[in-house]
Structure 1
Amino acid sequence: MRTRLLYQEDSYIREFEASVVDVIDNKVILDKTAFHDGEGGVEADTGYLEATGARYRVRAGREGGEVVHIVEGGHNIKVNDIVRGVLDWEPRYRKMRLHTAAHILSAVLYKRHNALITGGEITPEYARDDFSIEGDMSQVRRAFEEAIAEVNEIVARGIEVKVYWLPREEALKIPGITKLAERTPPNLPVLRIVEIPGVDVQADGGPHVKNTQEIGQVKIVKIENRGRNKKRIYYTV
């Protein structure tokens, strides 16, 4: 990848300057970006690129191992241009809050029921997760309600969220370093770790809040039965 991922260093960067390293039709590749590309189930960021006196609406994506900024309509952006990126901050910040909440929820359900995540999505409006949890729906509902109550208790503690990098072999020795049933951490020599001390440690490449209190109140939207060992919870903040 030719792009330095600024959001992995500081998730609160809203604006940045970068150099254009490649342009493929309406896709612009930069030497660095604060736009999250939608990897890991978190909806990709949107915003603007400002270049050559014009402002272009863009959304981020990942293609061929590269982060691309997909421009709406025509553009005149060229290789070596210096551009200014501006994120749509409010939806991005809501995704950060929900993303950190999702880590806490997965940790609580892993601890309580040994449940793993079998699918998920995070949008600015809501998050949804599928968990490998057994039982009839009344039991599942009670399990989710109790878990969300514990999530909110953890959120209220105001725990500082830590982000750091570890060699892959060292990271994989940490119990529960991934809570995904069908996915392992990316095959990289160094992994980015997101830790909520005393609650959760996971390998994760996406943006998060700095303190759990920023999440606010987590509320269940609905619960669904998606099949054996696949129970879905929608929630918001």
Structure 2
Amino acid sequence: MKELYLTDCYLKEFDATVESVKDDKFVVLDRTAFYPKSGGQPHDTGMLVKEDGTQFPVAFTGKFDGSISHEVSVEGLKAGDKVKGIIDWDRRHLFMQYHTACHILSAIIHDETGAKISGNQLGEDKTRVDFNLEDFDRELIKSYEAKVNEIIDRKIPVSIDIMPRDEAFQIPSLVKLKDAFPPEIEDIRVISIPDVDTQACGGTHIANTGDIPHIEIIKAENKGKNNRRVYFKFKEN
């Protein structure tokens, strides 16, 4: 299966062939732009449309045994059918904005405190970043909001590169991840925001920081020893 979102996060529609259907609702295609739930980023939703115009809403997208499965709410698709995939763009675009903003905030937290980022979860209303830090200064955390917004205002282009493993792990910020990628993974997808952040990531991202709304840090929590969590959302225009 070809994962089209890896090289083009802005692809809203695509043509594909159904490879298999399980239980009349779990559809595997030969190629897809639907992002499967993973890495803290929620799944895409949208529609598969047959050549005769029949619509099959996609309610969930996940990756199972190496294949991306599209859960449809209408029965009738079968192997060999030609379909057009249509992404729910408003949902996808929001998660692209949140994901890139998450990278920016994570980079600032790491640069300012040395903390290691332990996870994140994107949401439609707010997004969270988890990190390991002993001392928790809420006023300092709040100050990172202005730093993120300043980077957003600089309108920095965001690049996506798929690099050979050896080349990717020559980048200082990626060296620490080397052991996290099994040796059989030969190519590494790298998201770069020049002078801000460079990291391996399989998610979808905005093409320019200027396309992200300003953020507002709304909550900071202790989640146990050295485990801290920050929530942020986009400011209303």
Residues 100 and 209 of structure 1 are in contact (CA less than 8 Å); yes or no, is this contact kept in structure 2?
Answer: yes
The amino acid across from 1:231 in the alignment is: R
Q: Distance in 2 between matches of 1:179 and 1:109?
A: 17
Corresponding position: 1:8 with 2:21: no
Gaps of at least 5 residues in structure 1 are none
Residues 23 and 77 of structure 1 are in contact (CA less than 8 Å); yes or no, is this contact kept in structure 2?
Answer: yes
Give the TM-score normalised by the residue count of structure 2: 0.91
Q: Distance in 2 between matches of 1:175 and 1:151?
A: 22
Q: Distance in 2 between matches of 1:87 and 1:211?
A: 21
Q: Secondary structure at the match of 1:40?
A: coil
- How many residue pairs match? The answer is 229
Q: Secondary structure at the match of 2:142?
A: helix
Q: Which residue of 2 aligns with 1:154?
A: 151
Q: Which residue of 2 aligns with 1:60?
A: 61
Identity of aligned residues (%): 39
Corresponding position: 1:169 with 2:170: no
1:210 to 207, 217, 236: 207
Q: Distance in 2 between matches of 1:178 and 1:5?
A: 25
Q: Distance in 1 between matches of 2:53 and 2:182?
A: 39
Q: Which residue of 1 aligns with 2:15?
A: 17
Structure-2 change in CA distance of 1:145 and 1:185 (3 Å): farther
How far residue 186 of structure 1 moved from its aligned partner, in angstroms, is 6.0
Structure-2 change in CA distance of 1:150 and 1:179 (3 Å): farther
The amino acid across from 1:16 in the alignment is: F
Matches within 5 A, 1:1-237: 3-25=1-23, 26-51=25-50, 52-58=52-58, 59-72=60-73, 74-136=74-136, 139=137, 141-177=138-174, 184-185=180-181, 188-237=185-234
Give the TM-score normalised by the residue count of structure 1: 0.91
RMSD: 1.7
The amino acid across from 1:70 in the alignment is: E
Q: Distance in 2 between matches of 1:233 and 1:98?
A: 14
Residues 178 and 185 of structure 1 are in contact (CA less than 8 Å); yes or no, is this contact kept in structure 2?
Answer: no
How far residue 179 of structure 1 moved from its aligned partner, in angstroms, is 8.2
The amino acid across from 1:62 in the alignment is: K
How far residue 149 of structure 1 moved from its aligned partner, in angstroms, is 1.6
The amino acid across from 2:36 in the alignment is: D
The amino acid across from 1:216 in the alignment is: P
Q: Distance in 1 between matches of 2:124 and 2:91?
A: 5
Q: Distance in 2 between matches of 1:186 and 1:93?
A: 31
Q: Distance in 1 between matches of 2:56 and 2:102?
A: 32
